[in-house]
């Protein structure tokens, strides 16, 4: 059996889940449904429920050179005094009608003492600046990770490395993905708030995290 590492999201490589127009748009192909591919173990940053697919973490901003660098980072993270209760980096997704991102953004705008919002849509977009992103992670107790263009995202692993507790809104963002890496007891390292509870207004993020 071969092992294939896939760097892009799986939807673009699976013709049975994505139509040809979408495959052409995102530059994908029909690699994964091929009979030959069924005899491979697929490793990717995001997978589906296929039995031969396994998720591996995204690459992160943290690149230690020595073991001492790791110990030093851990000490800093553990002793850090955090200013904000929770953090969210995002831009609205106008084409995603089911997204809860706009609701979370509005919540942050009305909770500036407890929420740090990094606006990825502004002219001073700092979402792609590693130093700025890690700085905010290290100043927040919780980091919100609602699904966007995909269920998973690189920022989740960066936030964990910065000691910021991840908050998920869908099981496929972590619990059903990284089974090789995360504890089975998800409450030991994260918080789960169902997206529907946010949509229907039955749960307050502030109250859930306080």
| Tens of pLDDT, residues 144-154 | 999 877 888 88
Q: How many CB atoms lie within 10 A of CB 130?
A: 13
Residue 16 confidence (pLDDT): 42
Q: Which residues contact 45 (CB under 8 A, 6 or more apart)?
A: 7, 9, 55, 56, 57, 58, 152, 154
Locate all alpha helices (DSSP H) within 80-188, ordered by sequence. 101-109, 130-138, 154-161
Q: In the chain, at which residue ranges do the beta strands (DSSP E only) sit?
A: 2-6, 40-44, 53-55, 84-90, 115-119, 140-145, 165-168, 191-192
Q: Which residues contact 208 (CB under 8 A, 6 or more apart)?
A: 191, 193
| 37 vs 167, more confident | 167
Q: Report which of 129, 92, 103, 121 is spatially closest to residue 204, judged by C-alpha positions.
A: 103
Rounded to whole angstroms, what are the CA distances from 120 to 53, 87, 109, 117, 123?
Answer: 31, 13, 14, 9, 8
Residue 90 confidence (pLDDT): 77
pLDDT above 60 (res 13):
no
Share of the chain above pLDDT 70, in %: 75
pLDDT above 60 (res 172):
yes
Residue 23 confidence (pLDDT): 44
pLDDT-derived band at 60 (thresholds 50, 70, 90) equals confident
Domain range annotation of the chain: 2-55, 67-209
Which tens digit of pLDDT belongs to each residue from 71-109?
A: 999 999 999 999 999 999 876 666 666 678 888 988 888
Q: Does domain 67-209 have CATH number 3.40.50?
A: yes
Q: Report which of 56, 209, 210, 60 is spatially closest to residue 134, judged by C-alpha positions.
A: 60
Residue 50 confidence (pLDDT): 59
pLDDT-derived band at 26 (thresholds 50, 70, 90) equals very low
Cα separation, 206 vs 194, in Å, equals 14
pLDDT above 70 (res 52):
yes
Task: Give backbone dihedrals phi and psi of 89, rounded to 5 degrees, phi first.
Answer: -115, 125
Structure tokens at 43: 């490793």
Q: Which residues contact 159 (CB under 8 A, 6 or more apart)?
A: 87, 137, 143, 145, 166
| 72 vs 51, more confident | 72
């Amino acid at each position: 059996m071969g092992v294939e590492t896939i760097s892009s999201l799986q939807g673009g490589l699976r013709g049975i889940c994505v139509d040809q127009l979408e495959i052409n748009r995102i530059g994908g192909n029909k690699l994964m449904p091929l009979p030959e591919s069924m005899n491979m173990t697929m490793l990717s940053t995001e997978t589906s429920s296929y039995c031969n697919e396994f998720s591996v973490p995204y690459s992160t901003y943290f690149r230690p050179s020595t073991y001492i660098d790791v110990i030093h980072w851990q000490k800093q993270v553990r002793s850090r005094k955090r200013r904000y209760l929770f953090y969210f980096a995002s831009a609205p997704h106008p084409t995603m009608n089911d997204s809860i991102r706009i609701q979370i953004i509005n919540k942050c705008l009305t909770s500036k003492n407890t929420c740090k919002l990094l606006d990825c849509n502004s002219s001073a977009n700092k979402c792609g600046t590693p130093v700025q992103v890690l700085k905010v992670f290290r100043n927040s107790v919780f980091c919100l990770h609602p699904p966007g263009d995909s269920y998973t995202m690189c920022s989740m692993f960066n936030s964990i490395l910065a000691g910021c507790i991840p908050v998920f809104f869908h099981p496929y963002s972590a619990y059903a993905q990284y089974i090789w890496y995360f504890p089975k007891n998800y409450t030991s390292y994260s918080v789960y708030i169902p997206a529907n509870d946010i949509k229907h207004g039955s749960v307050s993020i502030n109250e859930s995290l306080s």
